[in-house]
Amino acid sequence: MTAVFRDAVAAEWMRLRTLRSTYAFLAGAAVVTLLGLLLLALLIRTFDAAPPAERANFETVDPTVVVVPFVMFLVGAVAAASVTGEFATGSIGPALLAVPQRPLLFGAKATVAAGCGLVGGLLSASSTVAGATLLLGGRPAPPHPWPVWTDAVATVAGATLTVTVAAVVALGLGALLRSTAATLVTLGGLVLVAPVVASFLPPVWRLRCGSVLLPNLTAQFTGADGPYLLPPAGAVGVLAGYAVVALVAGAVAFVRRDVG
Amino acid sequence: MIVVTELTKRYGRRTAVDRLSFEVRPGVVTGFLGPNGAGKSTTLRVLLGLHRPTSGSATIGGRRYDRIRRPLRDVGAVLDADAVHPGRTAADHLACLARSNGLGARRVRDVLARVGLTEVAGRRVGGFSLGMRQRLGLAAALLGDPAVLLLDEPVNGLDAAGVRWLRSTLRALAAEGRTVLLSSHLMAEVALTVDHVLVIGRGRLLDSAPVAALRNRGATDVVVRSPRAADLATVLTGLGASVTPGVAGELSVAGLDPAVVGDAAARAAIPVHGLTRRGASLEDVYLELTGTEAEYRNEEGAA
């Protein structure tokens, strides 16, 4: 890593943490995590109140399934804003005057976006899993999603990875669309709406489409017998595909088009 | 040294810059003048790598801008004073730019002091007036202590004191041997600031000349006032001048020096109450140059 690139990354990191919006989105991610745990607490109360015969019918309750898509959206919004916010305010101009090598500047932004996704995803997933483990205590599986603690590690790793890729995808979308509103609508469609739409498809298509959707990949890393099709390696491949397509498309748009 | 060679930039079918060539030398303040839509901002954007040229080249110190590593140390520029994230403080805005070029926090404090924004360094830029943003823009341009400064319409939004401050700052920067290029659509704004002007219209270079030469270019005449204007007119016409009578005993004399006019009046014993050389203003020369090239003109101007 050259000194010029290192300085560009440091500057992008500074840009991110000197804006209030960054903290607003991250606070949103924290709230979503807490809401996920609240939801779990309510389910546990129902479970505890149920007679033993009904308890056998309870399914596994993994709160990351609910929490992670929203965290993907909120952390992705931070990453997207590092491009769209600059185009909206024109501050991309001074940024490019300081670092006119566009591939290098885009690389710095992608590095910071990925870092933000990694840290945001890890914090949110690990606190969700830790909170859930505490709340579930000695209850059996199901509803306990991680009877062995190593299962929980796989879930945290998978969630962290998907949030990281979501941040990178958001950055690429931002560079392509340049508009905050358009980017957030597309990102929201991708991580929040598409899984719902897919669930209305006929069964075969529901499986095929649902399996490659970004938020549904998390469950497929762990190799747990979930409702989807991909083996862990396939899920990683699809995830890498998302990152590569978004980065290449974003980089080409960022490098080629006139600014200001 | 800024060198623009045969630069052309087209947006779709519209040609913004048309085979433009010029050079900007160090040590002087060069004005980049032209009416709205003449291609000034486009030229600066291409020069700074924000827009790609359709053909031709633009270099600073012999290099394309986007090939310069840590360019803030070589070139400082303000294209749009409003192009700042309103949610960031002035100090943070500068610190981000400084960090990307490996410049320390000390430079941020220095440039804030130089442009007089130290007291508001911790305030968010969203609350700044346009004048304050112009100062902040100049602070960003000065961060790396560059040898070349490019400013697009830097006088916009400055009050009288700000204009005077900018003028003395730019003159001081040029006196330090820097290359300074500033654009404006108004000659009056920059007439006292620049040494040399480049005039463009519809993307083409119309003129490149020192301000002093431009000043002398306009038609000049001598205005003489006398209680016996008619007698004096006869005398001066006899000397080969073309004389136009004005109001209140004024004569406009073309083709003679003030000294010759005064001597002739003395010899004829005609009293003279006033005698001055009248030059065309820089503004007049500029308007004449750009008059036919302005993108949009009002009917009065076209008449």
- The chain A residue lying nearest B93, using CA atoms, is A15
B264 and B182, same structural domain?
Answer: no
Considering the domain boundaries, does residue B188 fall inside one?
yes
Do residues B48 and B16 both lie within one domain?
yes
- Domain endpoint, select from B201, B216, B231: B216
Quick one: B197 and B265 in the same domain?
A: no
B269 and B141 together in one domain:
no
pLDDT at A1: 61
Q: What is the pLDDT of residues B101-155, one digit of tens each?
A: 999 999 999 999 999 999 999 999 999 998 899 999 999 999 999 999 999 999 8
A116 touching B (Cβ < 8 Å): no
Which CATH number does the domain housing residue B139 bear? 3.40.50.300
Q: How far is the CA of B79 from the CAs of B43, B76, B137, in angstroms?
A: 11, 10, 8
Q: What is the pLDDT of residue A181?
A: 96
Evaluate whether residue B17 is within a structural domain: yes
Closest CA relative to residue A14, chosen from B200, B15, B179, B88: B88
Residue B276 has pLDDT above 60, yes or no: yes
Q: For B41-67, write each residue's pLDDT tens digit.
A: 999 999 999 999 999 999 999 999 999
B298 is a domain residue? no
Q: Which residue of A has its CA nearest to B78?
A: A94
User: Is residue B146 a contact partner of residue B110, using CB atoms and an 8 Å limit?
Assistant: no
pLDDT band at B28 (very low <50, low <70, confident <90, very high): confident
> Is residue B147, in this structure, part of any structural domain at all?
yes
Are A18 and B88 an interchain contact pair (Cβ–Cβ within 8 Å)? yes
pLDDT for residue A225: 62
Tens-place pLDDT, residues A204-238 = 888 888 889 998 888 888 766 677 888 888 889 99
Q: Is residue B100 within a helix (H) or strand (E), and if so which, with residue range?
A: helix B90-100
pLDDT per residue as tens digits for the range B121-131: 999 999 999 88
Q: Which domain holds residue B190?
A: 2-216
Instruction: Give me chain B's average pLDDT, please.
Output: 89
Provide, rounded to the nearest whole percent, the portion of chain B with pLDDT above 70.
96
pLDDT at B294: 55
- B70 located within any domain: yes
ipTM: 0.91
Q: How many domains does chain B fold into?
A: 2
Chain A contact set for B134 (CB, 8 A)? none
Query: What number of other Cβ atoms are within 10 A of residue A113's Cβ?
Result: 31
pLDDT at B45: 95
Q: Are residues B208 and B243 in the same domain?
A: no
- Domain boundary residue, one of B169, B200, B216: B216
Give the residue from chain A lying closest to B87, CA to CA: A19
Residue A103 pLDDT level (bands cut at 50, 70, 90): very high
DSSP chain A: --HHHHHHHHHHHHHHHT-HHHHHHHHHHHHHHHHHHHHHHHHHHHHHHS-HHHHTTPPP--THHHHHHHHHHHHHHHHHHHHHHHHHHSTHHHHHHH---HHHHHHHHHHHHHHHHHHHHHHHHHHHHHHHHHHHTT--TTT-S-SSHHHHHHHHHHHHHHHHHHHHHHHHHHHHH--HHHHHHHHHIIIIIHHHHHTTS-HHHHHHHHHHSHHHHHHHHTT---SS---HHHHHHHHHHHHHHHHHHHHHHHHHS---
Q: How far apart are CA B111 and CA B104, in angstroms?
A: 12
Cα separation, A52 vs A118, in Å, equals 41
Which of A12, A13, A14, A97 to mutate to probe the B interface, most B CBs <10 Å?
A97
Name the one residue in this structure whose structure tokens are 């899984």.
A195
Q: What are B226-245's pLDDT values in tens digits?
A: 998 888 888 888 888 888 88
Asked if B160 and B244 sit in the same domain, the reply is no
Q: Is residue B296 part of a domain?
A: no
- Choosing from B178, B193, B216, the residue where a domain stops is B216
B96 and B184 part of one domain: yes
Domain shared by B122 and B258, yes or no: no
**Domain with B240 in it: what CATH number?**
3.30.70.980
**Segment 84-143 of chain B within 8 Å of chain A by CB:** 84-89, 92-93, 95-97, 99-102, 140
Is residue B296's pLDDT more than 70?
no
Q: How far is CA A237 from the centre of its chain?
A: 16
pLDDT for A112 equals 97
Each residue's pLDDT tens digit, B192-211: 889 999 999 999 999 999 98
**Residues B9 and B98 grouped into a single domain:** yes
With respect to residue B100, please indicate whether it lies within any of the assigned structural domains: yes
Task: Please indicate, yes or no, whether residues B130 and B161 belong to a single structural domain of this protein.
Answer: yes
Cα radius of gyration rounded to whole Å, chain B: 24
Domain check: are B69 and B140 in the same one? yes
Note whether A19 contacts B101, CB cutoff 8 Å.
Answer: no
Contact A100/B at CB under 8 A: yes
Tell whether B190 and B228 lie within a shared domain: no
